[in-house]
């Protein structure tokens, strides 16, 4: 239901920030389709609200988010899983990730599966020391469907991403900090509030346009790298040296490169 995800606005330093709340504590804040759709609506609303200078994603109860609710996706057909659950989830998380405002994920408890994928849509992540982070999908015969696989590889590197994704076991907040999956770890919920408020003070004091442009450049940089690699590979295979290298490999001899 829509009330399982709510949006609130607050004033701090005479500037406005918003909080997105996951409010399904009895189910570990597990995500339903209605919650995903609500995240999309909230993201669209915030993207057009120039008065909001920063966003915090929070949750009630013991957990930040335990992922997608199995009751919501367990009975879906392959077509429904791909076209409804996955595509809509990606769209909602991308809307959050590409907000012009900086986004903080405050992880007071475990962030697992789709819950971690939601946290990955934020710019800054802080976790309490007892929180665990992981992607257990491989233990269920599925995969992180909301771009979590590629985002983890981009954020913490392919080797550590493989560790999380293939083993399916969560890691501690301390290990997540060491790996760069979060950028701060605090002792408890009270310290979490102190850290979030400190970040908010800095973000609200910064120039909104500058931060939005920085986010855009970082996103473009990721796309540019992909296009650059594809262009470079295409250029390489068009050269005589590449053809010589292939021939030499097949003929089991050293190649003779002529730089053309």
Q: Write the Ramachandran bin of 185: left for phi over 0, alpha for psi from -120 to 50, otherwise beta.
A: beta
Q: 214-223 burial by CB neighbour count: b if 16+ within 10 A, else e?
A: ebeeeeeeee
Q: What percent of the chain has pLDDT over 70?
A: 86
Residue (of 203, 23, 36) closest to 114 by Cα position: 36
β-pair partners for 133: 111, 171
pLDDT digits (tens, 9 = 90+) for 59-89: 999 999 999 988 887 787 887 788 888 889 9
Which residues lie below 8 Å from residue 5, measured CB to CB, with a gap of 6+?
20, 21, 22, 23, 35, 38, 39, 42
> Is the predicted pLDDT of residue 230 greater than 70, yes or no?
no
| pLDDT value for 131 | 98
Residue (of 171, 197, 199, 195) closest to 185 by Cα position: 195
pLDDT digits (tens, 9 = 90+) for 141-189: 888 888 899 899 999 999 999 999 999 999 999 999 999 999 999 999 9
> Is the predicted pLDDT of residue 221 greater than 90, yes or no?
no
> Is the predicted pLDDT of residue 237 greater than 50, yes or no?
no
Residues annotated as part of the active site: 117, 137
Element (H or E) spanning 231, and its range? helix 208-237
pTM over 0.75: yes
| pLDDT value for 257 | 53
| pLDDT value for 227 | 36
């Amino acid at each position: 239901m829509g009330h399982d995800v709510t949006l609130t606005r607050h004033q701090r330093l005479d500037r406005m920030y918003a909080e997105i709340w996951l409010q399904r504590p009895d189910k570990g804040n597990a995500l339903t389709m209605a919650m995903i759709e609500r995240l999309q609506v909230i993201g669209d609303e915030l993207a057009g609200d120039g008065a909001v200078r920063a966003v915090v994603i929070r949750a009630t109860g013991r957990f930040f988010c335990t992922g997608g609710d199995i009751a919501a996706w367990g009975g879906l057909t392959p077509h429904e899983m791909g076209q409804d659950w996955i595509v809509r989830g990606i769209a909602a998380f991308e809307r959050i990730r590409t907000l012009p405002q900086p986004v903080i994920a405050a992880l007071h408890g475990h962030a697992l599966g789709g819950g971690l994928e939601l946290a990955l849509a934020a710019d800054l992540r802080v976790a309490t020391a007892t929180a665990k982070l992981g992607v257990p999908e491989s233990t269920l015969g599925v995969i992180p469907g909301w771009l979590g696989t590629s985002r983890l590889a981009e954020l913490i590197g392919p080797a550590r991403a493989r560790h999380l994704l293939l083993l399916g076991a969560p890691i501690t907040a301390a290990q997540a900090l060491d790996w760069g999956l979060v950028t701060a770890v605090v002792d408890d919920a009270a310290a979490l509030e102190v850290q979030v408020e400190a970040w908010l003070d800095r973000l609200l004091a910064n120039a909104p346009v500058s931060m939005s442009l920085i986010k855009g450049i970082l996103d473009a940089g990721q796309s540019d790298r992909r296009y650059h690699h594809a262009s470079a590979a295409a250029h390489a295979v068009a050269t005589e040296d590449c053809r010589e290298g292939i021939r030499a490999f097949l003929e089991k001899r050293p190649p003779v490169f002529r730089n053309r």
